[in-house]
Amino acid sequence: MDEIEAGYAALIRTIGEAQKEKEKRAGELAGQEGALLARMAGMAAPLVGQIGMNLLKKGRQDQKGEIFNAEYYREKMIVLGKTEPMPYRPDDPTKKVNDQFCALNEKGEFVELMYSSDGQTIDSYTCPLGPEDAFGIYGYEAMLMLYRALREYLKGEEELVAALGTTVEFLRTEKKE
Contacts of 57 (CB under 8 A, 6+ apart): 71, 72, 73, 123, 124
Torsion of CA 88, 134, 26, 35, to 10 degrees: -160
To the question of pTM greater than 0.75 for the whole model, the response is yes
Burial readout 45-80 (b: 16 or more C-beta within 10 A, e: otherwise): eebbeebbeebbbbbebeeeeeeeeeeebeebbbbb
Helix, strand or coil, per DSSP, at residue 58:
strand
- How far is it, in rounded angstroms, from Cα 15 to Cα 51? 36
How confident is the prediction along the chain (177 residues), in pLDDT tens digits per residue? 788 898 899 999 999 999 999 888 878 777 889 999 999 999 999 999 999 999 999 999 988 888 999 999 999 999 999 999 999 999 999 999 999 999 999 999 999 999 999 889 999 999 999 999 999 999 999 999 999 999 999 898 899 888 888 888 888 887 776
Q: Could you state, in order of their start, the residue ranges of all structural domains in the chain?
A: 31-176
Torsion of CA 94, 100, 103, 105, to 10 degrees: -20
